[in-house]
Amino acid sequence: MKLTKRLHSCVQLEKDGRTLVIDPGAFSEPDAGLGADALLVTHEHPDHFEEGRLRAALDADPAARLWTLRSVAERLAPAYPGRVHTVGHGDTFTAAGFDVQVHGELHAVIHPELPRVTNVGFLVEGSLFHPGDALTVPGVPVETLLLPVHAPWNKVSEVIDYLREVAPRQALDIHDAYLSDLARPLYDGLLGALGGAPHGRLAAGDTTAV
């Protein structure tokens, strides 16, 4: 697959002329979902789910489809009958030719006084895992882990331990919009030295083979 990093937690995957986009939220580019044959959304928080971006993508291509959890699906399914699919932990499906497994159930704890929303992670083609906003360990080998490197709900020691536990062939940063350029070398150094797996990051628009 060809992976294109978009802003924050959004990534675009291409294979055999088809395009899959994960989490085109409010922190991603306004056109992040356009051109997608299939869209996946991990949870309802606005930096991952921006209704206007999804509607634009679904309106632009009547064949495009969305797979997501119930809280997001309920917002869009009435306007796009038969095109919005609700998924949860343990489900498997094929989206625009990409085989996808669903892992995880809850968002990471932000604060004990805040309720936890549902969150699902997507393992694409049995090799690339996007966990959304959780440190979900899928329990199967992962070639490429999309690593939520900085968020209101994590600290760097947790990110390091998560990288060690999943033990992918490589990790690439996502969830990075909150992280300033001044701090990036610090995170790169810590994850590279302590994570136990090759770690890298892409600027928005950069591509790599996965």
pLDDT at 156: 97
pLDDT at 126: 98
pLDDT at 135: 98
How high is the mean pLDDT in each 10-residue block of the chain (210 residues)?
A: 98 98 98 97 98 98 98 98 98 98 98 97 98 97 98 97 98 96 94 95 96
Residue 192: name the closest of 172, 177, 165, 166 by CA: 172
Tally of domains within the chain:
1
pTM exceeding the 0.95 threshold for the entire prediction: yes
pLDDT at 209: 97
| Lookup: tokens for 192 | 């590279």
| Lookup: tokens for 205 | 């628009």
pLDDT at 205: 97
pLDDT at 70: 97
Half-sphere exposure of 108 (CA within 13 A, CB side): 19
Give the gyration radius of the chain's Cα atoms.
16
Q: How far apart are CA 100 and CA 23, in angstroms?
A: 15
pLDDT at 137: 98
pLDDT at 88: 98
123 alpha-carbon distance from chain centroid:
10
pLDDT at 49: 98
pLDDT at 160: 98
pLDDT at 4: 98
Write the DSSP symbol of residue 197.
S
Range of the domain at 65: 2-209
Report the CATH number at residue 60: 3.60.15.10
